[in-house]
């Protein structure tokens, strides 16, 4: 694999949170970048990016998006941990079956490498080791994690059978600019928005649920490195390496917005593992990557972006 500057890249799911950040960051430092997705969450942020509108469930539309590309970033996810459990068949069809069709399209189009964003927070399930290394047992308690793992395995199979290179980044809880606030994902974005507006926030469980929060610019840096990595490993944890409870997150946001949170409590959800913290030493050793944004800095930058942004 040559240097990043020579690569023609496609970003599937380019209109989403990480995708929007990735498209913007790649632009100017790769030979070409093309975004693909059903919609752009923040269209003006991608004004200068080549864009193909399409549905990941339609194989012809996928194929059109990757023509002439060396590297395909696969950031599409059509479900959340909550929705996947409610309809596991739909989750499997939309994510895994569609990815198999994508991989066939990549073979046909001569793509050299697929970089897939997997889920550091769900593939391990209840962790037996903390922080959790890539070599730990994978025992997801959500269909979301099961289908991500199946995709990882099919990627390995396509490399073995057909030489299609791949890298997987198991990303922890991402946060930062361009994150949408959704009911069961994107807790930092949701809390920040509501607390800035003086609204109540909703907390599932007692607030002790512990996650590994990683700023999106750090993730984007890892995604760039994954496109050109030449080492033996294929799967890398990408997180901060540090655990933070939900209550810690609320307290940190209180400092950023300068006011106390009003909290509405709900019962804990069965899809939440109590703790998830990733061991990120492999990415440090092999990708030469490490996160450089503190949680406080990341929150401040996210809050500043929110203040400038009109909600879509």
Task: Supply the residues annotated as catalytic.
Answer: 144
Interacting residues with its own copies between 176 and 205 (CB under 8 A) = none
111, 69 contact by CB (below 8 A): yes
The encoded tokens of residue 226 equal 């994954």
Exactly one of 64, 130, 139, 263 binds its own copies (CB under 8 A); which one?
139
Question: What is the rounded CA–CA span in Å between residue 36 and residue 33?
Answer: 10
Angle formed by the axes of helices 246-257 and 187-196, nearest 10°: 40
156 binds its own copies (CB under 8 A): yes
- The answer to whether 140 and 125 are in contact (CB under 8 A) is yes
Residue 1 CB, nearest distance to its own copies (Å)?
22
Residues near its own copies (CB under 8 A), total = 26
Q: Could you say whether residue 157 binds its own copies (CB under 8 A)? A: yes
Residue 140 touching its own copies (CB under 8 A): yes
Query: Nearest-CA neighbor of 241 among 207, 281, 272, 208?
Result: 281
- C-alpha distances in Å from residue 155, one per residue of 197, 255, 301: 43, 43, 35
**258 burial class (0-12, 13-18, 19+ CB within 10 angstroms)?**
exposed
Minimum separation from the CB atom of position 281 to its own copies (A): 18
Q: Lay out the site mask for its own copies across 89-128 (x = CB under 8 A, - = otherwise).
A: x--xx--xx--xx---------------------------
Of 148-156, 217-225, 261-269, 288-296, the segment contacting its own copies by CB under 8 A is 148-156
Q: Where on the chain is the footprint of its own copies (CB under 8 A)? A: 85, 88-89, 92-93, 96-97, 100-101, 135, 137, 139-143, 146, 149-150, 153-154, 156-157, 160-161, 270
């Amino acid at each position: 694999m040559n240097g990043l500057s020579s690569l023609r890249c496609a970003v599937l799911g380019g209109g989403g949170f990480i995708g929007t950040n990735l498209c913007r960051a790649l632009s100017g430092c790769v030979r070409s970048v093309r975004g693909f997705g059903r919609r752009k969450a923040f269209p003006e942020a991608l004004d200068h990016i080549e864009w193909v509108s399409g549905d990941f469930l339609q194989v012809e539309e996928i194929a059109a998006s990757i023509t002439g590309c060396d590297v395909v970033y696969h950031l599409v996810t059509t479900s959340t941990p909550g929705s996947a459990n409610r309809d596991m068949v739909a989750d499997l069809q939309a994510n895994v079956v569609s990815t198999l069709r994508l991989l066939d399209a990549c073979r046909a189009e001569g793509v050299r490498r697929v970089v897939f964003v997997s889920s550091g927070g769900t593939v391990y399930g209840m962790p037996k080791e903390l922080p959790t290394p890539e070599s730990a047992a994978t025992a997801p308690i959500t269909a979301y994690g099961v289908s991500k793992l199946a995709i990882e395995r099919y990627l390995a199979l396509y490399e073995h059978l057909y030489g299609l290179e791949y890298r997987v980044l198991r990303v922890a809880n991402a946060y930062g600019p361009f994150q949408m606030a959704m009911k069961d994902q994107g807790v930092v974005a949701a809390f920040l928005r509501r607390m800035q507006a003086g609204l109540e926030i909703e907390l599932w469980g007692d607030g002790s649920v512990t996650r590994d929060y990683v700023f999106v610019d750090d993730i984007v840096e890892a995604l760039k490195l994954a496109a050109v990595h030449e080492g033996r490993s294929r799967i890398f944890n990408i997180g901060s390496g540090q655990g933070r409870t939900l209550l810690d997150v609320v307290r940190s946001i209180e400092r950023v917005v300068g006011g106390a949170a009003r909290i509405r409590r709900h019962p804990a959800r069965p899809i939440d593992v109590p703790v998830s913290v990733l061991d990120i030493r492999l990415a440090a050793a092999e990708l030469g990557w490490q996160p450089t944004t503190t949680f406080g800095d990341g929150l401040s930058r996210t809050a500043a972006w929110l203040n400038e942004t009109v909600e879509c």
